[in-house]
Structure 1
Amino acid sequence: MNQSNFKPSLRLLDATMIVAGSMIGSGIFIVSADITRNVGSAGWLVAVWLITGFMTITAALSYGELSAMFPRAGGQYVYLKEAYNPLIGFLYGWSFFAVIQTATIAAVGVAFAKFTAYLLPQLSEDRIAVDLGWLTISPAQLLSIGVIGLLTYINTRGIKSGKIIQTTFTLTKLLSLFALILFGLFALKPEVWAANWKDPWQMQSLSPEGTTASYTTIGALGAIAAAMVGSIFSSDSWNNVTFIAGEIRNPKRNIGLSLFLGTLVVTLIYIATNIMYTAVLPLQQVAAAEKDRVAVAASQVIFGNAGTIIIALMIMVSTFGCNNGIILAGARVYYTMAQDGLFFSKVGRLNKNAVPAYALWLQCIFAGAWCLSGRYGDLLDMISFVVVGFYMLTIAGIFILRKKRPDADRPYKAFGYPVLPIVYILMGLTFCSLLIVYKPRFTWPGLIITLLGIPIYYMALAKGSKPKTESETVPVAEEIH
Structure 2
Amino acid sequence: MDEENLRKRKMSTEGKNGNLALDKMESEGTKKKKPKQMALQQQVGLLSGISLIVGTMIGSGIFISPKAVLSNTGAVGPCLVVWAACGVLSTLGALCYADLGTMITKSGGEYAYLLEAFGPIPAFLYSWMCIVVSKPSSFAIISLSFAEYAAAPFYPGCVPPPLVIKCLAAVAIILITSLNTISVKLATYVQNFLTAAKLLIVAVIIVAGIILIAQGHTQNFENSFDGAKTSFGSISLAFYSGLWSYDGWNQLNFVTEELKNPFRSLPLSIIIGIPLVTVCYILVNVAYFTTLTPAELLQSSAVAVTFGDRVLTAASWLVPLFVVFSTFGAANGSCFTAGRLTFATAREGHMVKILSYINVRRLTPSPALLFNGMLAIIYIIPADINTLINYFSFASWIFYGLTTLSLIVMTFTRKNLKRPVKVPIVLPIVVTVVAIYLVFAPIIDAPDLVYLYCSLFIVGGLIFYVLFIYYHFNWTRKIMRPITKHLQLFLEVAPAENEQ
Mapped contact 1:38–1:226 kept (Cα < 8 A): yes
| 1:269 and 2:280 matched | yes
Q: Which residue of 2 aligns with 1:327?
A: 335
| 1:200 and 2:224 matched | yes
| 1:359 and 2:368 matched | yes
Deviation, 1:70, is 1.4
The 1:56–1:6 alpha-carbon spacing in structure 2 relative to 1, beyond 3 Å, is same
Deviation, 1:145, is 1.3
Q: How many residues align?
A: 442
The equivalent position to 2:355 in structure 1, one of 339, 347, 357, is 347
SS, match of residue 185 in structure 2: helix
Mapped contact 1:226–1:439 kept (Cα < 8 A): no
Q: Which residue of 2 aligns with 1:92?
A: 126
Mapped contact 2:467–2:473 kept (Cα < 8 A): no
SS, match of residue 250 in structure 2: helix
Deviation, 1:479, is 9.2
The percent of aligned pairs where both chains have the same amino acid is 27
* Gap runs ≥5 in structure 1: 129-137, 205-214, 466-475
1:72-109 superposed Cα distances (whole Å, 9 cap, x missing partner): 22111101111111111111111111111101111111
| 1:433 and 2:452 matched | no
Find runs of 4+ consecutive structure 1 residues off by over 4 angstroms: 189-192, 478-481
| 1:421 and 2:423 matched | no
Mapped contact 2:91–2:274 kept (Cα < 8 A): yes
SS, match of residue 30 in structure 1: helix
Mapped contact 1:184–1:302 kept (Cα < 8 A): no
The separation in 1 between residues aligned to 2:237 and 2:365, in whole angstroms, is 37
Q: Which residue of 2 aligns with 1:169?
A: 194
| 1:160 and 2:185 matched | yes
Deviation, 1:115, is 0.9
Q: Which residue of 2 aligns with 1:60?
A: 94
Deviation, 1:192, is 4.7
After TM superposition, the score normalised by the length of structure 1 is 0.87
Which residue identity is paired with 2:180? N
Deviation, 1:198, is 1.9
| 1:446 and 2:446 matched | no
Mapped contact 1:46–1:271 kept (Cα < 8 A): yes
| 1:225 and 2:236 matched | yes
Mapped contact 1:52–1:232 kept (Cα < 8 A): yes
The separation in 1 between residues aligned to 2:64 and 2:388, in whole angstroms, is 17
Which residue identity is paired with 1:408? L
The 1:203–1:377 alpha-carbon spacing in structure 2 relative to 1, beyond 3 Å, is closer
Larger helix percent: 2
SS, match of residue 312 in structure 2: helix
1:291-335 superposed Cα distances (whole Å, 9 cap, x missing partner): 2x222222222112653x332112100011111111111111111
Q: Which residue of 2 aligns with 1:336?
A: 344
Deviation, 1:162, is 0.7
Deviation, 1:388, is 1.3
SS, match of residue 350 in structure 1: strand
Deviation, 1:230, is 0.9
The separation in 2 between residues aligned to 1:284 and 1:148, in whole angstroms, is 34
RMSD: 2.3
Mapped contact 2:148–2:160 kept (Cα < 8 A): no
The 1:176–1:421 alpha-carbon spacing in structure 2 relative to 1, beyond 3 Å, is same
The equivalent position to 1:300 in structure 2, one of 293, 306, 309, is 309
After TM superposition, the score normalised by the length of structure 2 is 0.83
The equivalent position to 2:472 in structure 1, one of 463, 467, 479, is 463
The separation in 2 between residues aligned to 1:189 and 1:447, in whole angstroms, is 49
Deviation, 1:233, is 1.0
Q: Which residue of 2 aligns with 1:209?
A: none
